[in-house]
Amino acid sequence: MDILQMLVVIAVLVLLVKPLGTYVYHVFSNEQNRLDKVYGGTEQFIYRLIGLKRREGMSWKVYALSFIATNIVLVAFSYLILRLQNALPFNPNAIGSMEPTLTFNTVISFMTNTNLQHYSGESSLSYFSQMAVIIMMMFTSAATGFSAAIAFVRGITSKGKTIGNFFEDFVKAHTRIFLPISFIFTLVLVALQVPQTLDPTLTVKTLEGAMQQIAIGPVASLESIKHLGTNGGGFFGANSAHPFENPSPLTNVIEILCMWALPAALPYTFGLYAKNKKQGWVIFSAMMCLFLVFLSVAYTSEKVGSPAMNTLGIDASQGSMEGKEVRFGIAQSALFTTVTAAATTGTVNNMHDTLTPLGGLVPLAEMMLNVVFGGKGVGLINMLMYAILAVFICGLMVGRTPEFLGRKIEPREMKLIAIAILAHPFIILVPTAIAFMTDLGQGAISNPGFHGISQVLYEYTSAAANNGSGFEGLGDNTPFWNISTGLVMLFGRYISIIAMLAVAGSLVRKQPVPETIGTFRTDNALYTGLLIGTVLLIGALTFLPVIVLGPVAEYLTLR
Amino acid sequence: MDSQSKSGSGNGFSILSVAIRISIVFMIICGILYPLASTGAAQLLFPHQANGSLLKDSSSEVTGSELIGQSFTDPGFFQGRVSSIDHNAAGSGSNNFAPSNPALIERTKASIEEWKANNPEVPVDQVPIALITNSGSGLDPHITPKSASVQIPRISKVTGLSQAELETLVKEHIEGRDLGLFGEERVNVLKLNLALSAKLGK
């Protein structure tokens, strides 16, 4: 039953890829289509409101500038709201102003689609902040990432000087994808018992006569965009393990598919842009192969459980249940964990800190690779970055100028890709080392031994991959952690997006090379294997030593 | 796509102006209109669910939410899972013990000793791991069906109800997998105890 229920979810996902990928293509292809009738009017109205007169294409520099400017403005507004939330409306629980470094961390976290949370929603945010900052940024950061991915795909698949208009992409991502789908799923989740109210925290008299407080709020409207936008920040501290955020296995499956479907459909969209659907399926297959390996490890490891618990004489046949919920059991927990780390959502339905050593290694490794489906848009960009690297390495081996989709890959592109690939381990490993060298960093560790190393490593990996889940025992609401992870999230988000937009800007201007018999094909099984190999090779070379110090050492010493 | 990227939205000032206006527009749409419209529609269509799926006792007083676990200390009630926050749903979470954390083993050993003292009839190797581990939320409303049935001998002794009666009661409260496939079989502790308490006429 466990295996079957996981396979059914995966099968539904695969069925969604083609229709959803086609839909996304029609949204952004800027060709006339039926959707214009439905959404055109609203969009024209928004274009007028924002003063966007002509929607001509932008060079990559203007595109990057536009999305950075928009993000900066959103960050500024949000910072003010969180600092002033005590004086703003919709604050029935009388929550005070947020501390400056925590506010810095929170706004960066949500703008970068990370949703690392150093606060607990129940006690630190007013309903107004939950809506106007958290929910708002869940939409806008997802739309930003999505737009960047589409612009990148346009750059590597078309010929011209421009990669699209950021503001138009940003508006369409909202009106045609995120807003309508979120609204529908909000109502579905409410029907399945997720609360949606503006009433304050309830107080009830329990069956045994004690008083119980129950935090509540506009949960469902956050829950749907949290997954759809691969954001992951919970309304409550316990995130999707909280019964109000995720009341049943059915909502669990819906949340899994919501966060997984769009990242999984993007490779198909890419195939449509490249006018070669097989090219899209190659990228999808590489992602899915890696995913299945990770899922198998997570499930097996949690099912076997921890030897330290299994030898206490209890009936431990169910598997490792510490930090998990009974309604989900092992299968729905392992699947959720593998998907949340793959899609870099960062929502959790079980506490990752309590996972068995190898079970905990799964999300960690997925975030280190950062290409197994990946977050809204960014995962596809990263995978294509590796795709170009793979043709480059193969080109070197056979002594030919590497080409990808009919474009020559030259030093300028490779330098930019090298920067993007090296930045990721750099912003994980250097801050981790700094944290270990200082009392400020070490003081936050809550679990002794090798697991403490994993806690710190996980925090920075999650920040760099813009995932946002945590080994939550870590006492991370201090200025040191708020500022250091805030900076890591910033670099993790913008370095790779800007570098890859630059690659797109450079490729879009190149004269396509005609395909010949000697062209190295990038749409077959051999290339899929090479791509997976490249991803694993780079990942292993950069991260293996530190993984051995953390999860592997814990696994080997756990008795 | 045309190539006139230098005109229109191409200059710095107009980019900033559009960026500010687009931010304000989407703060209003996504941050205010969307959640308020969702709240309105949810309250209209599904008021029970939207307000926390509250349960009432026999005297129709609200006694909790069917989704939020409660603490039960009376040995005559079925008990839920370990909660480091004592089921205080003003917050949520657990103490995030890693499998290698000695505190986890100590806590579990203490739970085992407590079990032995309160349930001499049921040997420890019958106790499911889910019953003596901390849930992720600290608010788990469910236990596994077996976690309920191992508590029957104790409850029978305290309340005087026969084991067969209690077994029927537990069986009636087993919720199956969703759509017959997803998740695990489970028993809602609060609902079960409400039924038990009605049976005892408390």
Measured between alpha carbons, how far is residue A535 from residues A87, A238, A286, A507 in Å? 49, 32, 10, 22
Say yes or no for a CB contact (<8 Å) between A56 and B7: yes
Are both B71 and B107 inside the same structural domain? yes
Task: Tell me what the mean pLDDT of segment B6-27 comes to.
Answer: 80
Q: Where residue A547 falls among pLDDT bands split at 50, 70, 90?
A: very high
Q: Chain B within 8 Å of A47 (Cβ-Cβ)?
A: no
Q: Tell me if the pTM is above 0.90.
A: yes
3-state secondary structure A411-434: HHHHHHHHHHHHHHHHHHHHHHHH
Which amino acid, residue A310? Answer: N
Q: Which two tokens stand for residue A423?
A: 């930045």
Q: Which two tokens stand for residue A502?
A: 């630059």
CB-based contact A368:A325 (threshold 8 Å): no
Gap between the Cα atoms of A63 and A57, Å rounded: 9
Are both B26 and B114 inside the same structural domain? no
Q: What is the pLDDT of residue B61?
A: 87
Gap between the Cα atoms of B64 and A206, Å rounded: 6
Q: Which structural domain, as residue segments, surrounds residue B22?
A: 8-48
Are both B24 and B64 inside the same structural domain? no
CB-based contact A447:B97 (threshold 8 Å): yes
Domain count of the fold of chain B: 2
Q: How many CA atoms lie within 13 A of A397 on its CB side?
A: 8
Q: Chain B within 8 Å of A80 (Cβ-Cβ)?
A: no
Q: Is the pLDDT of residue B7 over 70?
A: no
Measured between alpha carbons, how far is residue A391 from residues A252, A379, A401, A418, A512 in Å? 39, 19, 9, 14, 16
Q: Is the pLDDT of residue A402 over 80?
A: yes
CB-based contact A352:A337 (threshold 8 Å): yes
Chain A stretch 478-497, residues whose beta carbon is closer than 8 A to a beta carbon of chain B: none
Gap between the Cα atoms of A113 and A468, Å rounded: 8
Are both B38 and B62 inside the same structural domain? no
Say yes or no for a CB contact (<8 Å) between A308 and B61: no
Q: Where residue B53 falls among pLDDT bands split at 50, 70, 90?
A: very high
Q: Is the pLDDT of residue A99 over 50?
A: yes
Question: Tens digit of pLDDT for each residue in A477-511?
Answer: 999 999 999 999 999 999 989 999 999 999 999 88
Mean of the per-residue pLDDT values of chain A: 93
Tell me, yes or no, whether B99 lies in a domain: yes
Closest by CA position to A558, among listed A294, A310, A303 = A310
Closest residue, chain B, to A323 (C-alpha)? B136
Chain B stretch 32-71, residues whose beta carbon is closer than 8 A to a beta carbon of chain A: 32, 34-39, 41-43, 45-46, 49-54, 57, 61-65, 67-71
Are both B44 and B95 inside the same structural domain? no
Q: Chain A within 8 Å of B173 (Cβ-Cβ)?
A: no
Q: How many C-beta atoms lie closer than 10 Å to residue A209's C-beta?
A: 8
CB-based contact A489:A463 (threshold 8 Å): yes
Question: Tens digit of pLDDT for each residue in A434-484?
Answer: 999 999 999 999 999 999 999 999 999 999 999 999 998 998 899 999 999
Q: Is the pLDDT of residue B202 over 80?
A: no
For the purposes of burial, counting CB atoms within 10 Å of the CB of A527, is it exposed (0-12), middle (13-18) or buried (19 or more)? Answer: buried
Q: What is the pLDDT of residue A9?
A: 97
Task: Tell me what the mean pLDDT of segment B87-104 comes to.
Answer: 93
What b/e string do you get for A412-439 counting C-beta neighbours within 10 Å, with b at 16 or more?
A: ebeebbebbbebbbbbbbebbeebeeee
Are both B33 and B67 inside the same structural domain? no
Pairing of strands B54-56, A407-408: unpaired
Task: Tell me what the mean pLDDT of segment B10-14 comes to.
Answer: 70
Q: Is the pLDDT of residue B9 over 60?
A: no
Q: What is the pLDDT of residue B1?
A: 37
Are both B35 and B123 inside the same structural domain? no
CB neighbour list of residue A58: distance below 8 Å, 6 or more residues apart: A66, A162, A163, A164, A165, A166, B5, B9, B10
Say yes or no for a CB contact (<8 Å) between A66 and B19: yes
Tell me, yes or no, whether B3 lies in a domain: no
Question: Tens digit of pLDDT for each residue in B59-73?
Answer: 888 999 999 999 999
CB-based contact B143:B80 (threshold 8 Å): yes
Residue of A9, A44, A163, A207 to mutate, testing the B interface (most B Cβ within 10 Å of its Cβ): A207
Q: What is the pLDDT of residue A559?
A: 82
Are both B37 and B66 inside the same structural domain? no
Per the rule left: phi > 0, alpha: psi between -120 and 50, beta: everything else, B96 is: left
Residues of B in contact with A552 (CB under 8 A): none
Residues of A in contact with B134 (CB under 8 A): 322-323
Q: Where residue A517 falls among pLDDT bands split at 50, 70, 90?
A: confident
Q: Chain A within 8 Å of B73 (Cβ-Cβ)?
A: yes
Task: Tell me what the mean pLDDT of segment B133-156 comes to.
Answer: 96
Q: What is the pLDDT of residue A161?
A: 82
**Candidate from A77, A306, A312 with C-beta closest to B109:** A312
Are both B66 and B148 inside the same structural domain? yes
Tell me, yes or no, whether B2 lies in a domain: no
Say yes or no for a CB contact (<8 Å) between B98 and A473: yes
Question: Tens digit of pLDDT for each residue in A342-386?
Answer: 988 999 999 999 999 999 999 999 999 999 988 767 888 999 999
Q: Is the pLDDT of residue A515 over 90?
A: no
Say yes or no for a CB contact (<8 Å) between B90 and A171: no
The nearest CA of chain B is from the CA of A317 a distance in Å of 8
Say yes or no for a CB contact (<8 Å) between B91 and A204: no
Say yes or no for a CB contact (<8 Å) between A241 and B137: yes
Q: Chain B within 8 Å of A187 (Cβ-Cβ)?
A: yes
Q: What is the pLDDT of residue B155?
A: 96
Are both B145 and B97 inside the same structural domain? yes
Q: What is the pLDDT of residue B4?
A: 40
Are both B74 and B155 inside the same structural domain? yes
Say yes or no for a CB contact (<8 Å) between A449 and B128: no
CB neighbour list of residue A352: distance below 8 Å, 6 or more residues apart: A323, A337, A360, A363, A458, A469, A470, A471, A472
Say yes or no for a CB contact (<8 Å) between A4 and B181: yes
Q: Is the pLDDT of residue A8 over 50?
A: yes
Q: Chain B within 8 Å of A325 (Cβ-Cβ)?
A: yes
Q: Chain A within 8 Å of B126 (Cβ-Cβ)?
A: yes
Q: Chain B within 8 Å of A45 (Cβ-Cβ)?
A: no
B196-200 contacts, C-beta under 8 A, 24 or more apart: B196/B77, B196/B78, B196/B155, B196/B159, B196/B161, B196/B166, B196/B169, B197/A207, B197/B57, B197/B58, B197/B77, B198/B58, B199/B161, B199/B165, B199/B169, B200/B76, B200/B159, B200/B161
CB-based contact A226:A234 (threshold 8 Å): yes
For tokens 């600290």, the residue is B138
Q: Where residue A117 falls among pLDDT bands split at 50, 70, 90?
A: very high
Residues of A in contact with B72 (CB under 8 A): 207-208
- Per domain, the residue ranges of chain A are 378-557
The nearest CA of chain B is from the CA of A25 a distance in Å of 16
Closest by CA position to A211, among listed B5, B57, B90 = B90
Q: What is the pLDDT of residue A542?
A: 92
Question: Tens digit of pLDDT for each residue in A185-210?
Answer: 999 999 999 999 999 999 999 999 99
Are both B91 and B191 inside the same structural domain? yes
Q: Is the pLDDT of residue A224 over 80?
A: yes
Q: What is the pLDDT of residue A512?
A: 86
Q: What is the pLDDT of residue A30?
A: 81
Mean of the per-residue pLDDT values of chain B: 92
Closest residue, chain B, to A46 (C-alpha)? B25
